[in-house]
Amino acid sequence: MTLNLDHFETSLLFAVFSSVVLGIVTKRTTDERVKYGLYCFACFLAALFGIGWFMRILHG
């Protein structure tokens, strides 16, 4: 079995896994962890779409 995920799908997976672990290890309460995890995920998405559009504009 082989998966053929594209760049966007792989980035999304990375964003989810990283956000969960970052939320767990950096904050002290469950509420803070959830909020920070969501914040990290939003930042990953913003970077993903931001850099994507930047590259599109740059390359025309």
Q: Which residues sit at the interface with other proteins, rule CB under 8 A? A: 1-5, 7, 10, 13-14, 16-18, 20-22, 24-25, 28
Distances from the Cα of 57 to the Cα of 12, 21, 51, 52, 60, angstroms: 22, 33, 10, 9, 5
Taking the least distance from each CB to other proteins, the nearer of 25 and 57 is 25
| Residue 20: CB minimum distance to other proteins, A | 5
Taking the least distance from each CB to other proteins, the nearer of 8 and 54 is 8
Cα distance between residue 45 and residue 34, in whole Å: 17
